[in-house]
C-alpha cells in the first residue's frame, strides 16, 4: 500500500515527511498496534534512537515475548539486513 501526502498538507502542518513518519510510528507504538522494532523501522531510525525519543516524551516502552517474535519475523523478511 502506498499513501500520498500532498506537500501542501505538510507545509500547512509545518512538518516534514520524516517528522510525520515519526509521529505515526509513535502513535501506533503507543496504541500497541506495532512493535518497537517495526515502529523504529517505519520511522527510518535505529531502535536506540527511537527509544531515546520515546524516553524524552516520557512514553513507556512495552516490549514482551510477542513483540520479540514479531520483530524477529520482521527482520527475517526485511530487505535491510
pLDDT at 80: 55
Q: Is residue 9 part of a domain?
A: no
Q: What is the pTM of this model?
A: 0.75
Q: Is residue 65 part of a domain?
A: yes
8 Å CB contact between 50 and 43? yes
Count of beta carbons in the 10 Å neighbourhood of residue 19:
13
Give 10-53 pLDDT, tens digit per residue.
Answer: 999 999 999 999 999 999 999 999 988 899 999 999 999 999 99
Q: How many residues does the chain have?
A: 81
Q: Is residue 71 part of a domain?
A: yes
C-alpha span between 18 and 24 (Å, rounded): 10
pLDDT band at 59 (very low <50, low <70, confident <90, very high): very high
Q: Is residue 5 part of a domain?
A: no
Number of domains the chain is built from? 1
pLDDT at 57: 96
Is the pLDDT at 81 greater than 60? The verdict is: no
Q: Is residue 35 part of a domain?
A: yes
Q: Residue 30: which domain range?
A: 19-77
C-alpha span between 30 and 68 (Å, rounded): 16
Rounded to 10 degrees, the C-alpha dihedral 78/31/20/15 comes to -160
Q: Is residue 53 part of a domain?
A: yes
Amino acid at each position: 500500500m502506498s499513501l500520498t501526502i500532498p506537500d501542501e498538507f505538510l507545509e500547512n502542518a509545518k512538518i516534514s515527511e520524516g517528522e510525520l513518519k515519526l509521529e505515526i510510528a509513535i502513535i501506533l507504538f503507543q496504541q500497541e498496534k506495532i512493535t518497537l522494532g517495526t515502529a523504529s523501522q517505519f520511522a527510518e531510525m535505529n531502535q536506540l534512537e527511537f527509544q531515546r525519543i520515546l524516553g524524552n516524551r516520557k512514553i513507556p516502552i512495552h516490549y514482551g515475548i510477542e513483540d520479540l517474535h514479531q520483530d524477529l519475523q520482521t527482520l527475517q523478511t526485511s530487505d535491510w539486513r
